[in-house]
């Protein structure tokens, strides 16, 4: 039977962002909790475990990678080389601290970074949209009078 999460984990409401992954029991340091992402060439696929992990600058878990080259994959599965013309990289979640029951598992995001310039530009655009909205609202109220 397919299980999207290990038995000792659950999804719950997070104080960090929406939902997160939580320990249903104490989990010792250096425990491999399973695959979070699968990288196929330039495509990165998330598993349910990877989809609900929240970022922290002081995480209690790390990603561990395992590379399976095209030649190894084809040998293990007896598939022709033409069918899978790329390497596979599997990312797993490993605890770097003892996790207490009820504690949220966190990770320092490294697949992408949000640039400071982008965030500043977004805030500027948000302010401009709000100003434009307020001006439209003011003009509408004047027409109604």
136 DSSP 8-state letter? H
Task: Enter the pTM of the model.
Answer: 0.65
The two tokens of residue 120 are 């500043």
94 DSSP 8-state letter? E
Q: Which residues of 52-90 are buried (b: 16+ CB within 10 A; e: fewer)?
A: bbbebeebbbebeeeeeeeeebeeeeeeeeeebeeebbb
Q: How confident is the model at residue 45 (pLDDT cuts 50, 70, 90)?
A: confident
* The architecture CATH gives domain 9-112: Beta Complex (2.170)
pLDDT confidence of residue 65? 81
Rounded to an integer, the average pLDDT of 41-50 is 84
Outline where DSSP puts E strands in the chain.
9-13, 19-23, 32-40, 43-46, 54-55, 61-68, 88-95, 104-107
pLDDT confidence of residue 105? 97
């Amino acid at each position: 039977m397919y299980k999207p999460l290990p038995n000792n984990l659950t999804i719950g409401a997070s104080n960090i962002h929406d939902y997160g992954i939580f320990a249903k029991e104490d989990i010792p340091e250096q425990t491999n909790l399973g695959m979070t992402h699968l990288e196929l060439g330039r495509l990165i696929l998330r598993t349910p475990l990877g989809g609900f992990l929240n970022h922290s600058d002081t995480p209690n878990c790390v990603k561990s990678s395992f590379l399976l080259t095209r030649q190894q994959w084809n040998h293990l599965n007896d598939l022709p080389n033409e069918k899978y013309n790329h390497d596979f990289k599997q990312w797993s979640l490993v605890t770097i601290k003892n996790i207490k029951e009820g504690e949220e598992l966190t990770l320092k995001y490294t697949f992408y970074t949000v640039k400071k310039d982008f965030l500043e530009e977004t805030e500027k655009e948000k302010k401009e949209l709000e100003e434009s909205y307020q001006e439209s609202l003011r003009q509408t109220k004047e027409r109604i009078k």
